[in-house]
Amino acid sequence: MGSNLSVLSKKVGQRGGFFDLESALVDPDVRGSREKIEALLHPDFFELGSSGGVYDRQMIVDMMSDEVSAGVIIRDFETRKVSKDTVLVTYRSIGQSGEEARRSSLWVKTDGQWRIQFHQGTRIPNSWGGVS
């Protein structure tokens, strides 16, 4: 993916394109590069983390570029068009140790490029008996 992030974020329009953008955010090559992370994050980005923390763009850039990304599986991926230039993405993530979370991201097209403006993760307890 690497140097193609800018091209990718401009060509998105289908469900698969947003899947690729979300996948890029957990890709070790992207997470290890401040430049690549910043290219995907909207200037007004913020996150409500699955830990309960609230993070602004700079905090996420610093965190992501300093950590080693473990493998993440993305399941139940869906997109919903909110407006011409806004798409809501929802999915379930499964980490290498089996922890699961429901996730939602708001992608906004700015200056011809799709960037994530908001993200929220909500942990799914292992003992939860609801419909998944």
- Give the pLDDT confidence of 22-67 residue by residue, as tens digits: 999 988 888 889 999 999 999 999 999 988 999 999 999 999 888 7
pLDDT(122) > 60: yes
pTM: 0.83
Q: What span, in angstroms and rounded, lies between the C-alpha atoms of 47 and 24? A: 17
Q: What pLDDT was estimated at residue 4?
A: 55
What does 25-73 look like in DSSP terms, one character per residue? Answer: TT-HHHHT-HHHHHHHEEEEEEEE-TTS-EEEHHHHHHHHHHSPPPPEE
Q: What pLDDT was estimated at residue 1?
A: 44
Q: What pLDDT was estimated at residue 126?
A: 76
Question: Percent of the chain having pLDDT more than 70?
Answer: 82
13-124: what fold?
Answer: Nuclear Transport Factor 2; Chain: A, (3.10.450)
Count the neighbouring beta carbons within 10 Å of the beta carbon of residue 111: 6
Provide the token pair at 123. 């942990």
